[in-house]
Amino acid sequence: MPPSLGHTQRCVRAAVPLLALTVLLLVGLLHVDIRTLAPLLRGQAEGPPVTNIMFLKTHKTASSTVLNVLFRFAETHNLSVALPAGARFHLGYPWLFLARYVEGAERDGSWRRFNIMCSHLRFNPAEVQKVMPQDTFYFSIIRNPISQLEASFVYYRGFVPAFRAAESLDAFLAAPHAYRNRSRDLRNAYAKNNMWFDLGFDHNAPAGDGYVRARLAEVERRFQLVLIAEHFDESMVLLRHRLRWRLDDVVSFRLNARSPRSVTGLTPEGRERAKRWCALDWRLYQHFNRTFWARAHAELGARRLRSEVARLRARRRELAGLCLQDGAPKSGTQVADRRLSPYQSGDADILGYDLRPGLDNQTLRMCQRLVMPELQYTARLYALQFPEKPPKAIPFLPA
């Protein structure tokens, strides 16, 4: 007669500790490094680090910090990066991306493939696939659209026609159609459903259930992971797990962030108006905020997620003490090393970092990469990949 299900389960439970003890004994006898077996014991996927990556860099979502992580990994591992052609610092934005916007992409009538793509673009999957390998890992990041719109208003105040005449974001949201000129809609994309627009969709579309569900399903198919800016550390832990990277690969300092004095609040009425005005972005955020936590808990579990976040934050504090003068950011206009000064835009006071004096050469190079703003790092990688071409000029820095 076959054993009962309960009997089988008791046998399996009893065997697990014995199996673990056997593994530990083998480690001792064979002098195997326990760290090589740790992923197996934890049920973690094994394999080499993922090196083919496409990051859709959305606007005002902490994406500049993610870009720095990817640029550092690319430079450390000598990977190729799909960089904007010529003097540009974005890949054709706000127009839909075309492969020819990438420097060196066209070669002898065919397309060159790159390891990493992460500069600003408006997603156009067919064109992206021309220059990225088939096994590319696709991911992006989004933010609560209320705070994302507030950041856009401050940062792009002088660039976006819809924002220029508005006294405040509350005033804009009280009568957005009065300020927004549809004939100049590309630049006005920053003023409504900007994340939806970055994904390549129509940011003026009605937020009907059928349309929204279809587009969300499309994002799910295209992107293996969507990070949440408000939960940045948890996002980086999950990303590291998916990419099989080391802890130091994802440790970062906040880049392109504003000082508190340039962050403006919205009235409760303004917040509700922002949700309605950016209804597509709001649906996008609600959906992926739910799926992010479901994935994080399914893949890591709540306890391990907390532990990994604590490790990440401890390492960031350690590197801040090692690299940063005063251990904190400062107003970008006060950064002593002009080569590390962040670009200042609109009414925003973008923060930057001064490095501690007296660092040895190796530590100095590591710290410089950690705090290097987006424009400077783009120019740096461009010069490394294309030394035969004129370097990218950064307008606000001396030549």
**Could you read off the pLDDT of 97-125 as tens digits, one per residue?**
999 999 999 988 899 999 999 999 999 99
Q: 80 with 197, same domain?
A: yes
What's the pLDDT at 327?
87
CATH number at residue 178: 3.40.50
What's the pLDDT at 107?
86
Q: Could you tell me whether strands 106-107 and 110-111 are parallel, antiparallel, or unpaired per DSSP bridges?
A: antiparallel
What's the pLDDT at 183?
63
Q: 223 with 165, same domain?
A: yes
Nearest Cα neighbor of 226 from 237, 239, 215, 207 is: 239
397 falls within a domain: no
Q: 250 with 358, same domain?
A: yes
135 falls within a domain: yes
Q: 169 with 241, same domain?
A: yes
Q: 154 with 22, same domain?
A: no
Q: Around Cβ 50, how many Cβ atoms within 10 Å?
A: 17
| Residues comprising the chain, all counted | 399
Query: How far is residue 168 from each of residues 124, 162, 181, 342, measured CA to CA in Å?
Result: 33, 11, 17, 25
Place of tokens 């939960």: 231
What's the pLDDT at 395?
84
Q: 313 with 172, same domain?
A: yes
- Residue 399's pLDDT band (boundaries 50, 70, 90)? low
Q: 96 with 16, same domain?
A: no
390 falls within a domain: no
Predicted confidence (pLDDT) at residue 23 exceeds the cutoff of 70: no
381 falls within a domain: yes
Q: 126 with 172, same domain?
A: yes
Query: How far is residue 142 from each of residues 72, 195, 199, 255, 286, measured CA to CA in Å?
Result: 22, 7, 11, 16, 10
Domain that holds residue 21: 5-42
Q: 107 with 9, same domain?
A: no
228 falls within a domain: yes
369 falls within a domain: yes
Query: b/e for 71-89, b at 16 or more Cβ within 10 A?
Result: bbbbbeeebbbbbbbeebb
Split into its structural domains, the chain has a count of: 2
394 falls within a domain: no
Distance CA 98, CA 121 (A): 9
pLDDT of 162-172, one tens digit each? 999 899 999 99
Are the C-beta atoms of residues 351 and 332 closer than 8 Å to each other?
yes
391 falls within a domain: no
Q: 227 with 193, same domain?
A: yes
Q: 64 with 14, same domain?
A: no
Q: 269 with 365, same domain?
A: yes
Nearest Cα neighbor of 67 from 90, 88, 50, 94 is: 90
**Run of H or E including 331:** strand 330-331
Distance CA 247, CA 335 (A): 28
